[in-house]
Amino acid sequence: MIRVVVTGSECTGKTTLAEALAEHYGTVWVPEFVRQFVHEKGAPPDYEDVGAIARGQIGLEDQMASTATRLLVQDTNLLSTVVYSRHYYGDCPAWIEDELRERAAHLYLLAGIDVPWTPDGDQRDRGDRRQEMQGLFRTALTDRGLRFVEINGSPRQRLEIAIVAIDDLLAN
């Protein structure tokens, strides 16, 4: 199973791109578990929630992978859990870092911050720090040696760039 993860700072069109890619390739996409978690909790997550968020994301990925074709598109993965946990709480449980290494995707699509930011209650709260957050994601990808492509432009341009990158991955 080839895994492609759309990642990056909040409110960068990741969900829109993940859905469009899944449709294009005739496969399923994995939503971001933390959205459901925050909605059900009714409050922002805290450090004690990080493990539950990671386990929920893993479970959702595994569930969706069982119905995917050759390609699984993910609207995040444990990389986001690690980046946000370190950013908000200064730490991340070591087991999540270990799982990230074991479950690393074949390709990450780093969604650019060149789209409007929209507040979203308890989840999206870093509109004024998008550049900083994007840098944290880029560094996390680079430091781990993960293959990634930066995706910018209109939704159509983003989709076209992503399709070229995924087609290249599938061909090799």
Q: Between the ranges 28-32, 119-123, 128-132, where is the mean pLDDT highest? A: 28-32
Domain that holds residue 152: 2-171
Q: What CATH number is associated with residue 28? A: 3.40.50.300
Element of type H or E holding 7: strand 2-7
Q: What is the DSSP letter of 2?
A: E
List, for residues 1-49, the tens digit of each pLDDT value.
999 999 999 889 999 999 999 999 999 999 999 999 999 999 989 999 9
User: Which residues does 168 contact at the CB level (< 8 Å), separation at least 6?
Assistant: none
Contact predicate 73/6, CB 8 Å: yes
Give strand pairing partners of 107.
4
Cα Rg of the chain, angstroms = 15
- Domains: count for the chain: 1
pTM exceeding 0.85: yes
